Amino acid sequence: MNNTAPIISLQQLSKHYGSVRALDGLNLEINAGPTGLLGANGAGKTTLLKLLLGQLVPDAGTAHIAGADPLRRDDRLEIRRVVGYMPENDCLLPRHNGIETVITLGQLSGMTYHDAMKRAHEVLDYVGLDEARYRQMEEYSGGMKQRLKLAQALVHDPDILLLDEPTSGLDPKGRRHMLDLVHDLGHQQSKSILLCSHLLQDIEKTCRHVVVLHQGKALHTGALDAMTHDKETWMRVEVAAPAERFVLRMKELNMEFEREAAQRFRIQLEDGAEYGDELFDLALACSTAVTRLTPIRSSLEEVFVATLEDDAASRARDEAQH
């Protein structure tokens, strides 16, 4: 697989269920690395994954993953080899224990029994199910089943992981463990991940890029850092005591600021003032010193809400014009 080429490429991809447009002429390229597909339930996330795997046929447009076309049988075999899929719904085998389940699903990905058995033990250790590998499915808790689903997605050591709501149904401890695993896979093991979630915090904790999907369209794509960087530059600043001359000078300069504590302030700077050099100069002139300086970024939640509001306003304008 060419590391410089997009791992996923969509052109005018559409899928309808009756009058419901799950995907509506979606154009999108996703590069290597961990990417979050963010959207509310019903936004089209699961439909997209099934189209990429060849489980559904599009009504229009094309989709490619790892350079393969899911509509072609030979390509679907290649997709099965290089892509690991963790579905939201239960995919586990009844009357099987953990190790048997992972071995069987590994063989379905093209592995020999011997290779699948060896890797099954490795991935069950990795997800923390080493002591539960011989338990029957009926004995697994919800959190254990989620980790087992991740293990079967990893058994054939794929380059790409499609993870559909991996923290669904988990308690806080289980959710933290799952997010730690996903972060490790994407950042330390350099897997390319498409993480589908309606939980913004999950994407913030695990992904470098994000795609906002809404009503079958990609409303926003980009690097997470860039999306959460305010156009206005705000800094959180702490200065050494006393701070009163610092406060007085900011007022004289008509600077926008909020006092959060005796020596801590939230200060707006001019556009492009990313390093806060003028704050060091200002503190020095006021016989104090900056002891801590950190940029303030928008949360992904704020970006997500603003994106949806912009889309709603755009739709309203279009309807008014017609």
- DSSP string computed for 65-119: ETTB-TTSHHHHHHHHHHEEEE-SS--PPTT-BHHHHHHHHHHHTT--HHHHHHH
pLDDT (0 to 100) of residue 105: 94
pLDDT (0 to 100) of residue 147: 96
Amino acid present at 16 = H
- The distance of Cα 180 from the centroid of its chain, to the nearest Å, equals 13
Contact 257, 266 (CB under 8 A): yes
| Spans of the chain, pLDDT less than 70 | 1-3, 227-232, 271-275, 297-303, 311-312, 315-316, 318-319, 322
pTM for the model stands at 0.77
Amino acid present at 300 = L
Contact 218, 241 (CB under 8 A): no
- 3-state DSSP helix/strand/coil percent for the chain, to nearest 5? 40, 25, 35
Helix count (H) and strand count (E) of the chain?
11, 13
* Alpha carbon distance 171, 165 (integer Å): 14
**Residue-range domains of the chain with CATH:** 8-223 (3.40.50.300), 233-296 (3.30.70.100)
Residues 6+ apart with CB under 8 A from 188: none
The total number of residues shown for the chain amounts to 322
pLDDT (0 to 100) of residue 263: 92
CA nearest to 36, candidates 144, 262, 185, 198: 198
Over its C-alpha atoms, the chain yields an Rg (Å, rounded) of 24
Tokens of 246: 């610092």
What b/e string do you get for 213-240 counting C-beta neighbours within 10 Å, with b at 16 or more?
bbbbbbbbbeebeebbeeeebbbebbbe
Other CB atoms within 10 Å distance of the CB of residue 37: 30
pLDDT (0 to 100) of residue 108: 92
> In DSSP terms, which residues pair with 230 in a beta bridge?
none
